[in-house]
């Protein structure tokens, strides 16, 4: 006769992995933490601005709303980062308006002040006058593995406080023209459903910590098709700190141009190792030249972090400030070198300090759909 205690232990050993899997799949804790900290952001175009910029108003389809009125031209999401009213959102949702309103999940409504916004990252920092607000802690996107569950929390299609789930599908994903100068163009990819109104919303991990700001979708028709993209929380932290302290983001660069290594580049350079990025141009008198970088150098590590692709290098640079010193591991003619570089100011990028009056296109990326 079998020992009952041994039978129970065997059963527990079989059940524990199942219980752990069920617990990891339960995202209700993450949703409960995130929901109170995600707000609705509305951008308005006043009649006074309508009078001054009548041509732009006509192109945008904005009509006068009557005496002392205003027209809402954008409605999306934002995320509270502090109990004192710091809110991060996408810059493109401001859409050229001249006043902002923030609505909390408990329906409290506030006029918001624009602290600053940044074209290169498509992020804007707002401020409302209040204390004791719920907020989201910043997580560590690098610790979330591809395939792990994530939640998108926002206000799609006028549906307030909506939660959708998916997985982290990829990281360092470029979705615009990869050679666009002065743009970061590096995103977390997820299949958590996202539609109009989710710009500026939260992408959170299973612990309810912010790992990204949902910013764009790729779609053949403007509605969700399985591909959504978020700005990494590592970059959000840098932008939040800079806009709070300086009113603008301090962008840094290596003063080089670079691209992904691939098989063709490896054959051209005579190396079987195609990991990293290859330098295609070194700007004269720039940070890279002063440090000794050369055309055709292959950068394989950035401050001891292995480089996978060019978009990753752009994102890492965007997390740094001018005058920061970084260590690059470089392969040159079958030799491996360590090069210390003092980053310079990226003059290609202009952060906007206090202005809402610049039209911004929607971040729905239309993809060609072949005829049926």
CA 87 to chain centroid, in Å, comes to 14
Question: Measuring CA to CA, which residue among 200, 235, 34 is closest to residue 102?
Answer: 200
Question: Measuring CA to CA, which residue among 232, 261, 123, 126 is closest to residue 173?
Answer: 232
- The answer to whether 133 and 83 are in contact (CB under 8 A) is yes
CA distances from 188 to 37, 50, 66, 224, 322 (A): 21, 37, 43, 16, 25
Active site residues: 92, 122, 199
Specify the DSSP element, H or E, that contains 245. Answer: helix 233-246
Give the C-alpha separation, 152 to 323, whole Å: 36
Residue 345 structure tokens:
């100011």
Give the C-alpha separation, 300 to 279, whole Å: 11
Residue 110 structure tokens:
């506030």
Residue 300 structure tokens:
């394989």
267 C-beta neighbours (distance < 10 Å), count: 11
């Amino acid at each position: 006769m079998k020992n009952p205690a041994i039978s129970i232990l065997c059963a527990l050993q079989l059940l524990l992995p199942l219980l752990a899997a069920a617990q990891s799949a339960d995202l209700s804790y993450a949703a409960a933490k995130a929901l109170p900290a995600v707000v609705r952001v509305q951008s308005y175009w006043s009649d006074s601005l309508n009078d001054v910029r009548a041509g732009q108003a006509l192109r945008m389809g904005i009509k006068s709303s009557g005496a002392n009125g205003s027209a809402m031209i954008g409605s999306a999401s934002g995320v509270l980062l502090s109990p004192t009213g710091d809110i991060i959102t996408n810059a493109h949702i401001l859409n050229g308006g001249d006043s902002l309103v923030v609505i909390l999940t408990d329906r409290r409504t506030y006029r918001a002040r624009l602290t600053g916004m940044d074209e290169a990252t498509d992020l804007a920092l707002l401020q409302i006058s209040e204390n004791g607000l719920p907020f989201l802690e910043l997580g560590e996107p690098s610790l979330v593995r591809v395939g792990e569950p994530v939640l998108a929390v926002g206000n799609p299609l006028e549906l307030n406080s909506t939660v959708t789930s998916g997985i982290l599908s990829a990281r360092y994903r470029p979705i615009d023209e990869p050679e666009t100068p002065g743009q970061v163009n590096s995103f977390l990819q997820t299949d958590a459903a996202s539609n109009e109104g989710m710009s500026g919303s939260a992408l959170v991990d299973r612990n309810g910590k912010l790992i990204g700001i949902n910013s764009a979708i790729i779609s053949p028709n403007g509605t969700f098709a399985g591909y959504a993209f978020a700005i990494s929380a590592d970059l959000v932290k840098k932008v939040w700190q800079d806009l709070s302290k300086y009113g603008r983001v301090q962008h840094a660069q290596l003063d080089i141009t670079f691209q992904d290594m691939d098989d063709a580049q490896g054959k051209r350079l005579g190396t079987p190792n195609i990991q990293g990025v290859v330098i295609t141009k070194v700007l004269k008198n720039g940070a890279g030249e002063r440090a000794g970088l050369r055309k055709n150098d292959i950068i394989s590590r950035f401050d001891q972090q292995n480089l996978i692709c060019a978009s990753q290098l752009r994102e890492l640079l965007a997390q740094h400030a001018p005058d920061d010193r970084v260590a690059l591991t470089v392969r040159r003619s079958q030799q491996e070198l360590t090069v210390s570089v003092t980053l310079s100011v990226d003059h290609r990028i202009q952060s906007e300090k206090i202005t809402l009056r610049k039209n911004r296109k929607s971040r729905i990326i239309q993809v060609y759909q072949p005829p049926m």
